[in-house]
Every structure is written in structure tokens, then in C-alpha cells.
Amino acid sequence: MSTYAILFDLDGTLTDPKPGITRCIQFALSELGYKPPDANELDWCIGPPIKDSFSLLLKTSDDTVLEQAISLYRSRFTTIGLFENFLYPQIPETLDAICFAGYTIFVATSKPHIYATRIIEHFRLSSLFDHVYGSELDGTRSAKSDLINHILATERLSPSHAVMVGDRKHDMIGAKHNHVTAIGVTYGYGTEEELKTHGADLIAHSPDDIPKLLVHDYVRSQN
């Protein structure tokens, strides 16, 4: 079996979570008395930690205000928004191929792991992942750099034998901070320019590109 481990971002990489995330943000802003932006103006909120997004939306760093916004967001997300998403095409087949090749696979998301686990179970993907890693509800390990470091330490993985797959700059920055190979995917919410600017080693334009790039990266590392 390969000693390589593949870390997958969730939002924008495995699933398209736009309906749930944007509706929950709109709900929270409305409850706070703000006129929320249209859903298409909130695409940039998909990927980063939700506290960071609310800080920019509300133009504040006041923890009391931000925690209130997050609480309202979660009140809708835990009951409705959690499942207002869908798998990208070819994701189950892609994960099957990677598993068959002998890689170990983990979810590495800034989303709280209790939500991420439910989403993975909802799409019946649990058997394909060795573990689902995410942040804590208090924001611990919501930064991708911290999360990847935690996964490497917990699973006793060598950075040279790990690959991070994600669609936003936060995934690339987190991977590079931990000396991990980064594959950026362009079918999510980040542009190829964003991904390359922040350190993507390889680019996947569709899910079925990922297994091919993993083989390429493995062969390259042996030379």
C-alpha cells in the first residue's frame, strides 16, 4: 500500500455548498438588521473560515457581534443549510480510484468537523475516508495551516508523502506552510490565477484529473 495521504478540502472541492452557505449568511445578516447581498455576491465566502467572512461583511472585528452572526448562521445551517449542497460530478468515482490505488484519504476542512462528518455521511462517502478532520466550534484549527499541521501530527504523516487538494488560496497557503504538495482545483470557487499565486504545484480542471496528477506527483518524487 502507498504511504501517500491525500487531504481533501470539502466546500468547493468535494461538494458545491453555495445554496446552503449563502442562504445561511443571508439569514444571519437579515436577523441582524442588514440587507444581505445576493447569493452570487457571496461566492467569496465559500472556503474561508466563516468568522473571517462575517468580519468583512459586517466590517467589524468585534467578537461579540461576530459570535452573534455565527450563532444565527449555525441556527439555520445545522437544520437546513447543511444539506443544501451537492457533490460535484465524478467525485465518488475519483475517490474510488484513489482508494483503489492504495492512498489513504482524509477530509481537511475549515468547517467544524461535526458538520463535515454529517455531510460526508449524507453523501455516503464515509467508507472512502480514513477520517474527517475539521475545525472546532470555537474556531480552533479553522486556519488551514493549523489544521494540516494537526492532521500530519495526529496521523504521523511525512509532509513529503502528503498532498492537499483544494479550490481556494487558503488550501494552497496551508499546504505550503506545512511543506505539503498542493493540487488546486479550478472547478470550485478559486481561479487558476489565485491557486498558482498562492503556491499550487499542480492544477486539476476536473475531479478525474486528480488521480492522474497524484500518479504524476508520485513518480516525480521518486526521481
Catalytically active residues, by annotation = 9
Contacts (Cβ under 8 Å, ≥6 apart) of 36: 25, 26, 27, 29, 30
Taking the alpha carbons of 169, 174, 177, 179 in that order, is the dihedral positive or negative? negative
Measured distance CA(128)–CA(118) in Å, rounded: 14
105-to-28, 130, 157 alpha-carbon distances in Å: 34, 6, 12
Nearest to 6, CA basis, from 119, 128, 111, 88: 128
